[in-house]
């Protein structure tokens, strides 16, 4: 195995902005994708970008796009997590490192899942693993991230973004949160079962908390449409949204209290709307005036 040389890996490059050294590249430079998982300088002033759907080679404003089906080394895999250059000048692409780590955790436990063992299982060199992920914790972070923010997540987010009504979009945050937590809970259970210690798990969960920034657009749309609850400031609304869709509430209600995932999703959708949307006040129900508690009198028989 020849040593692989990779540039620093960029996880989830978004907003059509791909950073190479100190410059930001985007649509104006001819980059045809909006999100990528990894970037690698090609040594000639251009770079490679790996995404969930394709491999892009950019140079001087010209992009070549390779669909995953055409990449022999990525056959049967759902996206490119990492890029590295082989000693013979060829390009290594694929998801072998994270998948190898998952197999080793099941088979050998956390202690037996060393960088050297991961490299051997993935059939890459140990320097490649260090160059791409920096440490074993970096691989575990990617494992958790892939579980929660994979193709299913992207599809659910796209459905929400396509919703014309901001309240409908808000409600669609509930199935998105459910999907993230269900998927990541399975991986976190694997890590616990493999012997990953509690402080390491807590550090992983803190580092992988990306929802606050991702959720901003939904609250911004509520505010711009005039449907944000009266008296609720923008930052507080974002905080409430972030807290309600968090892993802690899912864990307490589903894992500890035994709620079904469907019950959690329905409750979360309703609670988000009640907490964040300026709903019209209803003074009558079935034609009967609702009495203020102080106006209610009960006469004895």
Q: What pLDDT score does 195 carry?
A: 74
Helix, strand and coil in the chain, % to nearest 5: 50, 15, 35
Q: Answer with the residue of higher pLDDT: 102 or 53.
A: 102
Q: Does the pLDDT of residue 15 top 60, yes or no?
A: no
The answer to whether residues 113 and 201 belong to one domain is no
For residue 1, is it within any domain?
no
Q: Answer with the residue of higher pLDDT: 73 or 89.
A: 89
The Cα–Cα gap between 76 and 109 comes to 26
The domain boundary, picked from 86, 102, 134, lies at 134
The domain boundary, picked from 103, 134, 165, lies at 134
Q: What pLDDT score does 24 carry?
A: 63
The domain boundary, picked from 84, 109, 134, lies at 134
The answer to whether residues 93 and 149 belong to one domain is no
Q: Is 167 left (phi over 0), alpha (psi -120 to 50) or beta?
A: alpha
The answer to whether residues 163 and 269 belong to one domain is yes
- Per-residue pLDDT, averaged over 272-300, amounts to 58
Provide CB contacts within 8 A for 187, sequence distance 6+: 143, 144, 147
The answer to whether residues 213 and 153 belong to one domain is yes
pLDDT digits (tens, 9 = 90+) for 19-61: 444 456 667 777 777 667 677 777 777 888 877 777 888 887 6
For residue 3, is it within any domain?
no
User: pLDDT grade, residue 203 (50/70/90)?
Assistant: low
For residue 300, is it within any domain?
no
Helix H or strand E segment including 96: helix 96-112
For residue 49, is it within any domain?
yes
The answer to whether residues 123 and 156 belong to one domain is no
pLDDT digits (tens, 9 = 90+) for 225-254: 999 999 999 999 999 999 999 888 999 999
Q: What pLDDT score does 257 carry?
A: 96
Mean pLDDT of the chain: 75
The answer to whether residues 103 and 153 belong to one domain is no
Residue recorded with tokens 């990306």: 210
The answer to whether residues 262 and 169 belong to one domain is yes
For residue 114, is it within any domain?
yes
| Whole-number percent of the chain with pLDDT over 90 | 24
Domain total for the chain? 2
The answer to whether residues 123 and 89 belong to one domain is yes
Range of the domain at 40: 18-134
The answer to whether residues 86 and 127 belong to one domain is yes
The answer to whether residues 147 and 57 belong to one domain is no
The answer to whether residues 79 and 182 belong to one domain is no
Nearest to 170 by CA among 264, 83, 288, 277: 277
The answer to whether residues 30 and 101 belong to one domain is yes
pLDDT digits (tens, 9 = 90+) for 3-14: 333 333 333 333
- CATH number of the domain residue 172 falls in: 1.10.357
For residue 288, is it within any domain?
no
């Amino acid at each position: 195995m020849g040593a692989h040389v990779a540039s620093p890996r960029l996880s989830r490059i978004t907003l059509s902005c791909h950073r190479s050294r100190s410059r930001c590249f985007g649509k104006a430079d001819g980059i045809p994708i909006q999100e990528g998982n990894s970037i690698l300088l090609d040594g000639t002033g251009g770079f490679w970008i790996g995404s969930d759907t394709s491999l892009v080679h950019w140079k001087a404003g010209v992009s070549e796009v390779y669909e995953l089906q055409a990449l022999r080394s990525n056959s049967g895999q759902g996206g490119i997590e990492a890029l590295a250059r082989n000693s013979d000048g060829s390009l290594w692409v694929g998801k072998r490192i994270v998948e190898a780590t998952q197999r080793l955790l099941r088979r050998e436990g956390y202690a037996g899942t060393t960088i050297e063992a991961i490299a051997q299982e993935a059939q890459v060199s140990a320097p490649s693993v260090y160059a791409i992920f920096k440490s074993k914790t970096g691989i575990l972070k990617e494992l958790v991230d892939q579980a929660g923010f994979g193709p299913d997540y992207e599809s659910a987010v796209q459905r929400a973004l396509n919703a014309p009504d901001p309240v409908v979009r808000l409600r669609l945050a509930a199935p998105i949160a459910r999907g993230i937590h269900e998927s990541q809970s399975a991986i976190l259970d694997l890590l616990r079962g493999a012997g990953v210690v509690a402080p390491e798990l807590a550090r992983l969960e803190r580092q992988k908390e990306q929802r606050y920034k991702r959720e901003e657009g939904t609250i911004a749309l509520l505010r711009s449409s005039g449907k944000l609850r009266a008296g609720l400031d923008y930052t507080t609304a974002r905080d409430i949204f972030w807290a309600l869709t968090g892993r802690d509430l899912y864990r307490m209600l589903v894992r500890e209290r035994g709620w079904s995932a469907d019950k959690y999703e329905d409750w979360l959708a309703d609670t988000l709307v009640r907490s964040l949307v300026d709903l019209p006040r209803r003074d009558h129900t079935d034609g009967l005036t609702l009495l203020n508690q102080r106006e209610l009198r009960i006469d004895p028989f």
